[in-house]
Amino acid sequence: MAQAAEPYQATAAVGDSSTCPGAQCHFTFPPVPAGKRLQLTSVSAQLGSVADSLVLEGNGLSYFVTKSHPDLSYLTTLVSLFYEAGSTPTARVFAPDTTKHTSLIITLVGILEKP
């Protein structure tokens, strides 16, 4: 009998975008457990007017996700990215305007499965 896939849901936040070193806000999510592969299926983020995009990283990849329109404060999109066991999904937001004090929140949703 095949094992059911396990859900993966994780949120990371930065309370004030103006405090990010070098105008780069970094987000780290829980690592993929041994013996599993993460298929990331969705990403959502609160970016305010600080940024128009974010980059998902980890497992040797960089994947840029953009807002559907620059005037929006949020982004939500479907993705299909894979992270192997032991890798740690991360995200970065470039926030160059230190006069904006925006709370940045990123949520990743996916499925942990046997490779």
pLDDT of residue 99: 87
Question: What is the H or E stretch that residue 80 is in?
Answer: strand 74-83
CB 111 within 8 A of CB 8: yes
4 has pLDDT over 90: no
Does position 100 have pLDDT exceeding 90, yes or no? no
pLDDT at 2: 57
pTM: predicted TM-score of the whole model, two decimal places: 0.92
Q: At the topology level of CATH, where does 6-113 sit?
A: Jelly Rolls (2.60.120)
Residue 115: pLDDT above 90? Answer: no
* Residue 9 identity: Q
| pLDDT surpassing 60 at residue 1 | no
SS3 label, residue 35: coil
d(CA 77, CA 108): 10
Taking the domains of the chain in order of start, what are their residue ranges? 6-113
DSSP 114: -
22-68 tens-digit pLDDT: 999 999 999 999 999 999 999 999 999 999 999 999 988 899 999 99
Residue among 101, 104, 97, 89 at smallest CA distance from 39: 89
Alpha carbons 90 and 88: distance in angstroms, whole number: 6
- Backbone phi and psi for residue 19, each to the nearest 5 degrees, phi listed first: -95, 0
